[in-house]
């Protein structure tokens, strides 16, 4: 039996989650842009973006490949893809096409120069099957790139921030139960198992200066809000008395008071070539 959309994406499908994705993207898009460029994405390429959501990775790729290239953005959430279309239109990007549905339904074998995905495999019961499905749409010698969180690796803030540490530990414990909390570290092994060649990986994450205007407080609290009901139902430690409605303000007060700098969650970017 195939998974439903809600089972695949534990963060949920609603307007608040779509706004959260755009906030998150504003923080981590520079890292994704650098990864794609290092991987070899360039002008004129045809790119398949999996799990596009509101289109942040698709738009990063579209800017790199330029109007002589093309990006096909695939996602289960039609409303998110409508947001992507609006954003592309507002930016004057005309070389992005959206496809609502599963990558397995795409009737475009071996037509893409590259395929991308960000924070997709961590939500899937069978990430290896997804990598292989994506490979089937990429030309021999083409690129496959995924960027995934690894919540099993937590970089503490400095100076110490007990509330922030409690919050990020919930992500670690929840994703360890829900799917694959260490997906980032597993990426190179999965790429090799799928049969990709020239596999390379790199660990990266942004660090905020923790000032009062930092978007990290909203990012952490909003992301936690997306998983909190499921985390509480699973009995994850620290969720019962968290008070999600005041978390953002309390995180800000804690970090501003101590001048703490805040590491983002660990991300691993991995690139391989289709033989």
Quickly count: other Cβ atoms within 10 Å of residue 3's Cβ: 13
Assign residue 66 the CATH number of its domain: 3.40.50.150
pTM equals 0.90
pLDDT tens digits for range 140-174? 999 999 999 999 998 999 999 999 999 999 999 99
- Residue 81 — very low, low, confident or very high, per pLDDT cuts 50/70/90? very high
What's residue 14's pLDDT?
67
In the sheet that 197-204 helps form, which strands lie side by side, from edge to edge? Answer: 96-100, 70-75, 46-50, 112-118, 138-149, 267-273, 197-204
- Residue 19 — very low, low, confident or very high, per pLDDT cuts 50/70/90? confident
Tokens found for residue 148 = 């995934």
d(CA 250, CA 274) in angstroms, rounded, equals 47
What's residue 21's pLDDT?
83
For the segment 47-61, the average pLDDT, to the nearest whole number, is 96
Contact 236, 4 (CB under 8 A): no
Tokens found for residue 186 = 């597993």
- Residue 6 — very low, low, confident or very high, per pLDDT cuts 50/70/90? very low
Does 186 have pLDDT greater than 70? yes
pLDDT tens digits for range 198-246? 999 999 999 999 999 999 999 999 999 999 999 999 999 999 889 999 9
- Residue 13 — very low, low, confident or very high, per pLDDT cuts 50/70/90? low
Which structural domain, as residue segments, surrounds residue 196?
5-273
- 8 Cβ neighbours under 8 A, 6+ residues apart: 76, 123, 124
d(CA 166, CA 223) in angstroms, rounded, equals 14
What's residue 18's pLDDT?
79
Does 122 have pLDDT greater than 70? yes
Does 10 have pLDDT greater than 60? no
Distance of CA 178 to the CA centre of its chain: 16
Number of domains present in the structure of the chain: 1
């Amino acid at each position: 039996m195939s998974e439903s959309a809600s089972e695949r994406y534990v963060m949920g499908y609603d307007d608040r989650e779509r706004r959260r994705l755009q906030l998150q993207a504003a923080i981590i898009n520079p890292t994704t842009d650098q990864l794609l460029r290092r991987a070899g994405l360039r002008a004129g390429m045809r790119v398949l973006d999996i799990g596009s959501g509101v289109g942040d990775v698709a738009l990063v790729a579209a800017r790199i490949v330029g109007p002589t290239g093309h990006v096909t953005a695939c996602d289960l959430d039609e409303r998110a893809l409508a947001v992507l279309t609006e954003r592309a239109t507002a930016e004057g990007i005309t070389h992005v096409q959206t496809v609502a549905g599963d990558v397995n339904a795409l009737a475009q074998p071996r037509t893409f120069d590259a395929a991308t995905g960000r924070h997709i495999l961590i939500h899937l019961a069978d990430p290896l099957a997804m990598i292989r499905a994506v490979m089937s749409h990429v030309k021999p010698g083409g690129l496959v790139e995924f960027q995934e969180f690894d919540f099993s690796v937590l970089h503490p803030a400095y100076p110490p921030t007990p509330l922030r540490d409690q919050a990020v530990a919930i992500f670690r414990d929840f994703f360890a139960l829900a799917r694959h909390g260490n997906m980032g570290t597993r990426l190179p092994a999965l790429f090799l198992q799928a049969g990709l060649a020239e596999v390379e990986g790199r660990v990266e994450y942004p660090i905020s200066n923790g000032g009062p205007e930092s978007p990290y407080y909203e990012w952490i609290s909003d992301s936690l809000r997306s998983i909190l009901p499921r985390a509480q139902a699973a009995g994850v430690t620290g969720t019962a008395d968290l008070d999600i409605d005041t978390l953002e303000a309390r995180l800000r007060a804690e970090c501003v008071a101590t001048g703490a700098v805040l590491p983002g969650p660990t991300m691993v970017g991995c690139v391989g070539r289709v033989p």
